[in-house]
A and B are shown apart, each in its own frame.
Chain A
Amino acid sequence: MVRLIGRAYDALLYGMAWLAGLLMVAMMATIFIDVVARNLGYQSSAHFFTFSEYALLAIPCLGAPWLVRERGHVYVEILLSWLAPARRRMLLRAIGILCVAVCAILAWYGGAITVQDFLRAEKDVRSFDMPRWIVVGFIPLSFGMMALEFLRFTLRGEDFLAAQPERESGRV
């Protein structure tokens, strides 16, 4: 049963990252269609604009738990690299606990805002009236899962900070 829940959770985490990637590609496509249509004299849709704005929120929220799993967070390694292994492990554990606490607090308050928006039927007014809880809801989902990911690393005593920077490409 536990294994099944674990698999379902992993599928959710990676599925969310896939969806984030898909949204990024969709954003590119909608911008291209919008610009071409407008310059050819056709009426462009304000919904494209709204879609991009919501995608900007959804992409990082859907991808953030996956980034923790992939040890993709940027950090300053001055102190950590100087510490002896035992002390480094201790500090990492303390950092892990802090990360769990911070993400859990934001998930909690994000959740409270989402519920409040739902109960009050708040609308986010852009090119159309979007129920606000649907978009704000990405925030507690994301931070809640980030807290779980940090907790997972911390309980296992694993290093959640990659030996940086080692990626071949791609950083701002």
Chain B
Amino acid sequence: MEWYWVAALLFGLAVGLMLLGVPVAIAFFATNIVAAFALMGGASGIAQVVNNGFGAMTFFALVPIPMFLLMGELYYHTGLASRMFNAIDQLMGNVPGRLAYVTVAGGTGFAALSGSSMGSTALLGSLMVPEMMKRGYSKYLSMGPIMGTGGLAVIIPPSALAVLLATLGQIDVGALLIAGVVPGLVLATMYGVLIFGWTVLDPKAAPSYHVAPVRLVHKLKLVALDILPMFLVIVLVIGVMVAGWATPTEAAGIGCVGVLALAVCYRCLSWGSFRRAVDGALRVTVMAFLIIFGSATFSQILAFTGGSSGLIRWATDFQLTPFGMLLVMLGVILFLGCFMDQLSMMLLTSPIFFPLAKTLGFDPIWFGLIMLLALEIGYTTPPFGLLLFVLKGVAPPGTTMRDIYLAGMPFIACVLLLIALIIVFPPIATWLPNLSH
């Protein structure tokens, strides 16, 4: 069979089944079964699907996925997240638009520790939106920063999604994780600047209100007790990797123990919170690994039948410049992001995009980070970006989807700007990983 029929069968069937509403993992399995049966020797091809899945899942580099997820869930369910949040709230003082800044600062911290965009958005949405609406903030300024910081979770390490992308793209997991630090901080700063500009241009969007002054001693105590220890866990995870004491895979387990130790120190670790954390981490781990199970055969069939090489040859035959090809790839991710979750997007695009990026001479870490950012935008792209629906779920009654779409736009623009900056100044992404090597 010609490569283009193979590609059409694989992508058409997977996307078609997903759009029908078939659970994502099952859609991939069904595609694999049909393709393996048709292209890999009938029944023996299906047996190969099972063997491939076995090989793909027993792969040590995937350990960070359950560990980072467990770490984030522990952080959330033990109440450590709320603790850090309250501290930042008290430290912010009487700045105009303070609650929006609190969202960005607290959200960045939470995003870093949780690695979960959905969790981050749900937490911030339920905590901050009612408070901001009560204080007379515009609905756009109330919801926009939440979607923005929710998306930060995918690039600031530890990020389970970064590990998965690195695994699928066969690039250095540790380097991609570390590469997200600087762009993550740049993005959080851009959000801060955006809010500042917003409140200057439209002061009514964030009416000022009286906040009881906090004494300096109390502020220092808040920093020392409620912010610094949480920050140290992030430093611990990144530090053990950079210092070479643990592999990136192992660093995830260390971070998990770090959060657990913090929860014990703060006496907020109960059996209930621990059970809820394991439950939450298990749900996402199972989902992610089922998709990995399917991914092994999906990319193998693409490669085995010449689909991958055919698609790459076809794409490069257009004789676009590398920059033009990069834009096309970004366009594909942004388009898919309108109606698809990140795992499925990664699985569909990685087998083609990473080899293509290699052909074009891109730095794989630089390209991986740009891809992560594009995936992050996909999370907030109308009409079906998942974060939009999470926010709708926790927003006050009467909030329309249109309100949520509009609120997210300025923050999507910030991410696009960051992608442009990374394209123009690659060291934003590559400097830290190069340093650690």
Contact = CB atoms under 8 A, between A and B. Distances in A.
Interface of A: 17, 20-21, 24-25, 27-29, 31-32, 34-35, 39, 49, 52-54, 56-57, 59-60, 63-64, 66-67, 70, 72-80, 91-92, 95, 98-99, 102-103, 105-106, 109-110, 112-113, 135-136, 139, 161, 164-172
A56 B253 contact: no
Interface stretch (B68-76, B203-211, B404-412): B68-76
A161 B22 CA distance: 9
B283 A57 contact: no
Interface residues of B, number: 83
Contact of B283 (A52, A70, A113, A161): A70
A46 to B, nearest CB: 11
B49 to A, nearest CB: 7
Given A135-B58, A170-B281, A35 B246 contact: yes
B306 to A, nearest CB: 25
A166 B119 CA distance: 10
A168 B289 contact: no
Contact of B24 (A34, A52, A74, A105): A74
Contacts of B252: 31
A109 B282 contact: no
B282 A139 contact: no
B54 A28 contact: no
Contacts of A63: 282-283, 285-286
B416 interface: no
Interface in B102-116: 114, 116
Interface stretch (B4-12, B190-198, B338-346): B338-346
Contact of A21 (B21, B117, B256, B278): B278
Interface string B103-140: 00000000000101111001100100000000000000
A28 B393 CA distance: 33
A102 B293 CA distance: 14
A98 B26 contact: yes
A172 B20 contact: no
Given A60-B293, A73-B26, A24 B66 contact: yes
